[in-house]
Structure 1
């Protein structure tokens, strides 16, 4: 394990001299973490993303370090087969790669760690332990090789909480132990996005490390908002934290919201000004023709929430028009009436009960209803009742509560958006691409490559930019060696 002390000290002096920390991000996705890092004052010099569509979205929204190398900047790359020196040359950075990047960040693939991903692997392979041998679970080892090659002065990793309990192994603890041998002070903890101005109760692990010459361990941002997390979050935390060592752990205390903070951003505050969409049932042919890039005017431009203002005027991504894109939704006629009748916060068992009521009403309205169990009866039932077992899919559907933050968005939205049904009974639909982006705190000016399904997948995979910004601001403060009492920033009402 090598440590280039001279290169790191030169980087620290450069940052302390007022220059923006220069970042390389691995597994960048469409750029959620990058948006937050740029807002926190970091400079993006390079990124690596395996998915071609996500890499194309990244290129649409971020400028390459050398304009003439835009083609190289937009290429999809595999972090396993790519190396930082080759990447630096391809995007036009001159000199030794060890001198290029001050910060190394990554949103490592979570599918091998997340429990929902484990179930999918089990169903495909028939092996209960398939997730342990998933190659994606070993990518953190490749990340550590990048650390050796780049010699950053700061490191940022994001993942799902289940990475703390991966087949009985605490992966972040292993990473921190290795980083210590490379000359870093490292810590990890769990952060909930709702505490940082994101209208979503999204729990994620963050691991931070800084050069050990600074003489202290990195810290995590204090919450800016208060939220009452559902009871399930505490039980999930208990499972995730099972393998945190009792002694000598690198785990940092989970930040708690202090009294007096503003309430978490609600779904209605986040989405209330976006266009009202009814074409999926009033003019389905029009909806089928609509493209992701087609623009619609905002429903309102007055009495905007602070969050909506932020999404319309993100630093460096401010829009100058009265409309935005991304207003495509899935067309599922069978379920429109179910959506309308569902209660806020209703899950699939509730939706199934609503569907059965609708079916019963249809039967009673017939002059000569078919006999139960007959082919005609089954055909009619299928037109109104979804085929899923309520006992096996309790979380398959969920109707947004306008007064609360949303539940977690996932990459599965690329296949199914029923986990986020719009709260407005009159619109009776699942969320649009732009609404999903808002719930992830991705600004309205952000453009997505690909079609609807690809956009939903990118959004679900993204790090919420407002959460990334909070983490990056604290990391930058640590790099500048600013003590807590000297660096208290006044709350920005526009970020609320």
Structure 2
């Protein structure tokens, strides 16, 4: 029997959760989870979200979409060719700031319509903004003299999520947030305990929803709600709280078989599996003339500077210094300087990830362009990547030669030991966050000769966005979108669990 659940995606970002949920199909090819509404307030993320909603209106993505992401036609031309599908995408997406009276006035009638048309077969997915919960965000807030956590509306945006649950009364919901929410407190009260209590009573009465843990074999009061993505086939160590709630009246005796609601562990995959085949790029040069010839001169100079700084530290960095000098010679004698951007297609060295990421109809890889770096940072990137190549780990701040130490007030305090962090070929990446939009120092490419940070497409692959997923906006905005998203392949696995639990329509 075909099943269909109308899905509402809140605080949707570029649509990572919806991408995973909407990919699940019934045996007849119809969608198990049909996205009825996605809500996002940030314009560039919303533009990406609506474009992806447009692709979902087709049985197969049209050729004109590929022409658009290849830069061959404009967005206006794309819309002109498919007006009905674009209107459907407009109906499916809303650019609203949740928690405001204006958004509520627009949203509530639409939610009522979705609930009535679906005859109760709805689910809600999404996660309130996490800045107020994250450890970094809380440290930043403590530095604001007048900051009052009780007055920070970001602590309580989850209440809008719960208000919508109460109005829609979905059969299930999935709520995602950062681990920092586990320890976040306001006026001495645990935010997370309050969230759990409110979610369980989202239908108006205590216990109306049952929260089911997604992982097993871990200890701690809330540990089974923490998803470590690298354990489930995602090439990234992303640890997030993900809460699955199911309406208690549809669970037999208020519970279900544990095997049904646990994610199935998968073989750990690494950075090389998704990035090793990517087109080679050079970094750009910021605050100066940027040409291939200028870059070659600057990067050779940076490698020599890094090698000299290593030798000045004594013998323990001699091996790194030797490799830096060898790399400088390779770069100096190179006949071909890599470009800053490439649309060449790239293989995936992992069958499971390849099946998810690759699109045989794709003729050009989008969003693969390097950012610019200052020459002083090129020397630090050269050192860090060569150090990682030598020791198979990223250097800590106290292992940097003094000649390469940045002029940062906190450099020697130990607070920013990983200020320059190399991603390693043989391991999952560290968490891809929106901070990648700032400077890239936490996301240095493991190939020293490229001497750069990761591109948007590389970050998107680590997040398991399919290669045909196009990110709108400028490059900084694209990085933020990717960093804030839920990995779509992880979302797909959660969708499979929700489908197993829920009864047939």
TM-score by length of 1: 0.71
Question: Which residue number corresponds to residue 312 of structure 2?
Answer: none
Q: 1:415/1:149 Cα in 2 relative to 1: closer, same or farther (>3 Å)?
A: same
Question: Which residue number corresponds to residue 5 of structure 2?
Answer: 21
Q: 1:323/1:220 Cα in 2 relative to 1: closer, same or farther (>3 Å)?
A: same
Question: Which residue number corresponds to residue 284 of structure 1?
Answer: 290
Question: Does the CA-based 8 Å contact 2:37-2:91 persist in structure 1?
Answer: no
Question: Which residue number corresponds to residue 61 of structure 2?
Answer: none
CA distance in 2, matches of 1:192, 1:23: 25
Question: Does the CA-based 8 Å contact 2:272-2:425 persist in structure 1?
Answer: yes
Structure 1 segments unaligned to the other structure (5+ residues): 1-16, 226-261, 360-383, 482-496
Give the deviation of 1:53 after TM superposition: 1.3
Question: Does the CA-based 8 Å contact 1:56-1:75 persist in structure 2?
Answer: no
1:306 correspondence with 2:340: no
1:120 correspondence with 2:161: no
Structure 2 segments unaligned to the other structure (5+ residues): 25-31, 58-83, 214-224, 295-339
1:78 correspondence with 2:97: yes
Give the deviation of 1:198 after TM superposition: 0.9
Number of aligned residues: 390
Question: Does the CA-based 8 Å contact 1:48-1:76 persist in structure 2?
Answer: yes
Query: Is the deviation greater in 433-442 or in 75-84?
Result: 75-84
Q: 1:94/1:305 Cα in 2 relative to 1: closer, same or farther (>3 Å)?
A: closer
Question: Which residue number corresponds to residue 255 of structure 2?
Answer: 217
Question: Which residue number corresponds to residue 164 of structure 1?
Answer: 182
Question: Which residue number corresponds to residue 48 of structure 1?
Answer: 39
Question: Does the CA-based 8 Å contact 1:24-1:44 persist in structure 2?
Answer: yes
1:333 correspondence with 2:375: yes
Partner SS state of residue 270, structure 1: helix
| 1:183-227, Cα deviation, whole Å (9 max, x unpaired) | 2222351111111111111111111111212224366433332xx
CA distance in 2, matches of 1:479, 1:54: 31
| 1:106-145, Cα deviation, whole Å (9 max, x unpaired) | 2211111111111122223454xx3343211111211111
Question: Does the CA-based 8 Å contact 2:261-2:501 persist in structure 1?
Answer: no
| 1:139-186, Cα deviation, whole Å (9 max, x unpaired) | 121111111111111111011122122214124422344246262222
CA distance in 1, matches of 2:293, 2:154: 37
Question: Which residue number corresponds to residue 412 of structure 2?
Answer: 390
Question: Which residue number corresponds to residue 197 of structure 1?
Answer: 233
Partner SS state of residue 103, structure 1: strand
CA distance in 2, matches of 1:449, 1:438: 16
Question: Does the CA-based 8 Å contact 2:235-2:463 persist in structure 1?
Answer: yes
Q: 1:101/1:418 Cα in 2 relative to 1: closer, same or farther (>3 Å)?
A: farther
Question: Does the CA-based 8 Å contact 1:196-1:223 persist in structure 2?
Answer: yes
TM-score by length of 2: 0.70
1:108 correspondence with 2:149: no
CA distance in 1, matches of 2:483, 2:168: 29
Question: Does the CA-based 8 Å contact 2:53-2:89 persist in structure 1?
Answer: no
